[in-house]
Amino acid sequence: MAQQTTINDMKVAIVTGANSGIGYEVTKSLLSEGFHVVMACRNLEKSNDSKEQILAEFPTSSLEVMAIDLSDFESIKAFAQEFKAKHQHLNILVNNAGVLFNKPKKNKNNIEMQFATNHLGHFLLTSLLIDLMPDSKSSRVVSLSSLAHKKAEIFFDDINCETQAKWDTPYAQSKLACLIFADELQRKLESAGKKIISVSAHPGGTDSGLFDHMPKLLMTIMRYTFVPIFLHTTESAAKPILKAALDSSVKGSEYYGPTGLFEMKGPPGIASRTQYSQREDVAARLWALSEEMIGSEFKI
């Protein structure tokens, strides 16, 4: 009789924000590669609906939903504790979940919500789970950045962006922080003699409901003019993330994205980035600030 395969025999991946959009597509692709995937999401009802949709397409796959609110540090700690109780190892962590707000909002720790969720939440989650990752080049921490990082800096003296005039500055700062974190994590892994790879990626542009609230005529015009030229599907947008997670040629600190027009769409490849995002002094300062803000040390 053939021995039954258990989850502990499988490669395990976590995808945050897996119930829709890019995370949903990344989840499906990882399942097709034989991973047991944990959909780490805030809304369990929507996530379980998404799980059923995925299982209808991949009926023999191994898929799990677990609750996490990446803006809430206690929720993250609870998730990590539950995950460790269920699983002996973690092969890939895709730090995908993100929020974008056009009005100021803070979490319960009085931290600007986008910085708290997009960067600090994943910083804390990674710190709590990295000890479960096998010391191998196939072990990956994939952090999602954005083209928006190019118009940002880290406002160390105004981390909540309370004096910044542009509404999208907090989001841009948070996505820059994700990119810088990926690089600094790689440096610390190398210093510790680890083979685990920390890498980053951005999806380019995708029509994920962006135009849904426009007047119908304008929405139609945008979808037939702007979208075909500049944006691609969520399935295509997931490809740079999947390359970062799975490609054996990937090296630590590399940054992947679409290689077409303005990096909005096209085949995945090495993405462009700002000089500021590569400054090691900024990275070291951000790491120290992040540890201070989550209230714990990130040990490699």
Q: What is the pLDDT of residues 133-145, one digit of tens each?
A: 999 999 999 999 9
Question: What's the chain's average pLDDT?
Answer: 92
The pLDDT of residue 214 is above 60: no
Among 24, 171, 255, 256, the one annotated catalytic: 171
- Report, as an integer, the average pLDDT of 77-91: 98
Strand-pairing partners, residue 198, are 141
**Using CA atoms, how far apart are residues 135 and 10, in angstroms rounded to an integer?**
16
The pLDDT of residue 288 is above 60: yes
**Using CA atoms, how far apart are residues 99 and 174, in angstroms rounded to an integer?**
10
Question: Position of tokens 């009789």?
Answer: 1
The pLDDT of residue 161 is above 60: yes
- CATH no. for 7-294: 3.40.50.720
Task: Please report the pLDDT score of residue 220 as a whole number.
Answer: 58
Task: Please report the pLDDT score of residue 232 as a whole number.
Answer: 67
Which pLDDT band holds residue 206 (cuts at 50, 70, 90)?
confident
Question: What ranges do the domains of the chain cover?
Answer: 7-294
Q: What is the pLDDT of residues 21-78, one digit of tens each?
A: 999 999 999 999 999 999 999 999 999 999 999 999 999 999 999 999 999 999 999 9
Task: Please report the pLDDT score of residue 208 as a whole number.
Answer: 52
- Report, as an integer, the average pLDDT of 226-230: 56
Question: Position of tokens 């702007």?
Answer: 226
Instruction: Find how far residue 298's CA is from the centre of its chain.
Output: 18
Which pLDDT band holds residue 239 (cuts at 50, 70, 90)?
very high
Residue 255: active-site member: no
**Using CA atoms, how far apart are residues 7 and 257, in angstroms rounded to an integer?**
31
Edge-to-edge strand ranges of the sheet holding 62-67: 62-67, 36-41, 12-16, 92-95, 140-144, 197-201, 255-258, 268-270
